[in-house]
Amino acid sequence: MSKTEKYLITIVGPTAIGKTALGIQLAQHFDTEIISCDSRQFYKEMAIGTAVPSVEELKTVKHHFIQHKSIFAPYSVGDFERDAISKLEAIFKDHNVAIMVGGSGLFVNAVLNGLDEFPDVPEEIRKDLNLLYEQNGITALQEKLKVLDPVHYKKVDINNPQRVTRALEVCIASGQPYSDFLNKKKTERPFRSVMVGLTADREIIYRRINQRVDIMVENGLIEEARKLFPHKTLNALQTVGYRELFSFFDDTFTKEFALSEIKKNTRRFAKRQLTWFKRNEETLWFDYKTPAKEIIQHIEAIQKKPAL
18 labelled binding-site residue: yes
- Give the pLDDT confidence score for residue 3 in this predicted structure: 53
**pLDDT of res. 308:** 62
> How confident is the model at residue 232, as a pLDDT?
92
Higher per-residue confidence, 127 vs 208: 208
On whether 60 is known to bind a ligand per the annotation, the reply is no
Q: What are phi and psi of 12, to 5 degrees?
A: -125, 175
Residue 199 is labelled as binding a ligand? no
Interatomic CA distance for residues 141 and 137, integer angstroms = 7
Would you say residue 163 has pLDDT above 50?
A: yes
| The pLDDT of residue 2 is above 50 | no
220 is annotated as contributing to ligand binding? no
Per-residue pLDDT averaged across 102-110, rounded? 88
Quickly state the pLDDT bin for 183 (edges 50, 70, 90): low
- What whole-number distance in Å separates Cα of residue 36 and Cα of residue 39? 8
pLDDT value of residue 179:
86
Distance of CA 84 to the CA centre of its chain: 14
Mean predicted lDDT score pLDDT of the chain: 92
Give the mean model confidence (pLDDT) for residues 220-226.
98
Q: Is 98 flagged in the annotation as binding?
A: no
pLDDT tens-digit profile of 236-259?
898 999 999 999 999 999 999 999
Q: Residue 118 burial (CB < 10 Å; 0-12/13-18/19+)?
A: middle
Residue 23 annotated as part of some ligand binding site: no
Give the CA angle between residues 193, 199, 89 to the nearest 5°: 25
Greatest mean pLDDT range, 76-80, 275-279, 290-294: 290-294
Pairing relationship of beta strands 192-199 and 97-101 according to DSSP bridges: unpaired
Residue 91 · residue 34 · CB < 8 Å: no
CB-based contact 162:40 (threshold 8 Å): no
**pLDDT for the residue numbered 1:** 41
17 assigned to a ligand binding site? yes
- The contacts of residue 111 (CB under 8 Å, 6+ apart) are 8, 10, 35, 37, 80, 81, 84, 85, 88, 100
Q: Which CATH fold topology does 123-181 show?
A: Histone, subunit A (1.10.20)
Name the residue ranges covered by the structural domains of the chain.
Answer: 7-116+192-304, 123-181
Class of domain 7-116+192-304 (CATH, top level): alpha beta
Does the annotation flag 19 for ligand binding?
yes
